[in-house]
Amino acid sequence: MRTILVVDDETPILESLDMFLGEKGYRVITAATGADGEMKFRQHHPEVVMLDIRLPDKNGLDILKEILAAPNPPKVIMMTAFQDMETTIEAMKSGAYEYLNKPLDAGEIERTVDRAFRMSCLNGHSEIPEDVPPPTGVIIGKSPQMCEIFKTIGMLCRNQATVLIQGETGTGKELVARTIHQNSFFSDEPMITMDCSAIVETLLESELFGHSRGAFTGAVETKPGKIELAGRGTLFLDEVSELPIGLQSKFLGFLERKEYMRVGGHRIHKSRCRIISATNQDMAELVRRGRFREDLYYRLKVVSIFVPPLRDRIGDIPDLARHFLQKAARDHCTEARQFEDGVIDLLCAQPWIGNVRQLQNVIMAASLQSRGRRVLLEYIERELAAGPGRVLSGAIDFSLESSEQVHILKTLKHTQWHRSRAAELLGISLPTLRSKIQKYGLQPPKPYTMPMNDI
């Protein structure tokens, strides 16, 4: 009979899981402490274990590691009411099969347990590296969407799969990429970033693949490309949607074979780096419009992560705000340690078109103005009024900056947000346009939503 061990110190949870899973035809063994759980695990050899993280006598993560070290380990479903990034990543990294947040949902339990039993028949537990260092960059967030992202990051530490991170500007795509890298087998190797929109097209190819001496005028010596510099680490292609179409096919060839030649070179080089790319554009739409190769798009998004806009996870705002306040104190020696009443409510009510980056800027600027230990509501209001998305109340803004902003937006709309074309029409370089887009917090009109791929 299919046996499941449930370890949790809350009697109502134990009793209801016992009844619920019993009715579904499982043999349920329960334990209210870590020690009891370990003993019953050795006695009954369950195929699936549901394990609480916080137990009175032991840490669930330690029990997880012990259980998984046993021969023929079970599938372990972690449960917790205190979800945070480190524990979720740590649990997934240690080999947990799933991670459920309390309060538990009956439908989710049923599906997860059923899947876990099916999986336990299919394969054994995969080896987990012991020497992976703990994550250093911290992604703040407890929303269900962020928890899913933490789980995916945890799973990605076991492989070198190619990842595409999508989301609006300032949502934390680069931070997610860095965290994936830091949690990978090869975190000691470099993560090399290439901003596909910031480099002149002709240089891009040699930036990526490198060039040999004499390959073109000015190539006085052989230079390794970013792929080579990444070694076994990570190549992070930022703004990947801007990759010129000519280079897209060359890059596809590289992804297919993981081989490349330097510009002007004759020798084939092998690469073993992981490719993570990021974009704030709707890639599927670019593919539909023939601006981005469909085959390359699918190659890039073997694993796809969508980082939602901040307005869709307002529950994360209080923690983020406090985090940035502490960061300001650390980085700029500001005195403020708390927010005046009403600040958090005000922050939660904003549209945040510049997302987490804008929130960070507002908190930083407001805490720099604060003289005492509290950030006052009025400082926040002032910063919000000055930031992206400002509504000019009454008076017409005659400033040159305001006209520039309107004109750039108009041009971007005209080119349907094709930035290279807009830069051409405006008579400025692409990097200059990018910095102006950033400065004014300009955004494509429709936010898009994209489901996360199952990996």
Ligand X SMILES: Nc1ncnc2c1ncn2[C@@H]1O[C@H](COP(=O)(O)OP(=O)(O)OP(=O)(O)O)[C@@H](O)[C@H]1O
Q: Which residue is nearest to Mg ion (CB)?
A: 174
Q: In 113-231, at which residue ranges do the beta strands (DSSP E only) sit?
A: 163-166, 191-195, 210-211, 223-224
Whose Cβ is closer to ligand X: residue 38's or residue 174's?
174
Does residue 140 touch ligand X according to CB under 6 A?
yes
Of residues 170-229, which lie at the interface with ligand X (CB under 6 A)? 170-175
**Residue 356 interacting entry, from ligand X, Mg ion, none, C-beta within 5 to 8 Å by type:** ligand X
Of residues 64-123, which lie at the interface with ligand X (CB under 6 A)? none
Which letter does DSSP use for residue 129 in this model?
-
**Residue 170 interacting entry, from Mg ion, ligand X, none, C-beta within 5 to 8 Å by type:** ligand X
Give the up-direction half-sphere exposure of residue 314: CA atoms within 13 A in the CB hemisphere: 11
Whose Cβ is closer to ligand X: residue 64's or residue 139's?
139
> Which two tokens mark 198?
């910031």
Beta bridge partners of 235: 192, 275
Candidate list 169, 234, 281, 370; residue touching ligand X; CB under 6 A: 169
> Which two tokens mark 79?
């449960």
How many residues interact with ligand X (rule CB under 6 A)?
Answer: 18
Does residue 242 touch Mg ion according to CB under 5 A?
no
Of residues 338-367, which lie at the interface with ligand X (CB under 6 A)? 356-357, 360
Integer angstrom CA distances of residue 197 from 153, 279, 334, 421, 424? 26, 11, 36, 12, 13
Q: Contact, 447 vs 351, CB < 8 A? A: no
Whose Cβ is closer to Mg ion: residue 280's or residue 350's?
280
Q: In 81-184, at which residue ranges do the beta strands (DSSP E only) sit?
A: 98-101, 163-166
Distance CA 207, CA 194 (A): 8
- Interface map 145-174 toward Mg ion (x if CB under 5 A): -----------------------------x
Does residue 8 touch Mg ion according to CB under 5 A?
no
Q: Which residue is nearest to ligand X (CB)?
A: 172
**Residue 169 interacting entry, from ligand X, Mg ion, none, C-beta within 5 to 8 Å by type:** ligand X
Nearest distance from C-beta of residue 157 to ligand X, angstroms? 19
Helices 430-440 and 419-426 pack at an angle, to 10 degrees, of: 100
Q: What residues contact residue 214 under an 8 Å CB cut-off, 6+ apart?
A: 264
Of residues 254-283, which lie at the interface with ligand X (CB under 6 A)? 278, 280
Candidate list 139, 156, 343, 353; residue touching ligand X; CB under 6 A: 139
Which of 439, 447, 430 has its CA nearest to residue 404?
Answer: 439
Q: Contact, 96 vs 77, CB < 8 A? A: yes
Give contact residues for Mg ion (rule: CB under 5 A): 174
Give contact residues for ligand X (rule: CB under 6 A): 139-141, 167, 169-175, 278, 280, 320, 323, 356-357, 360
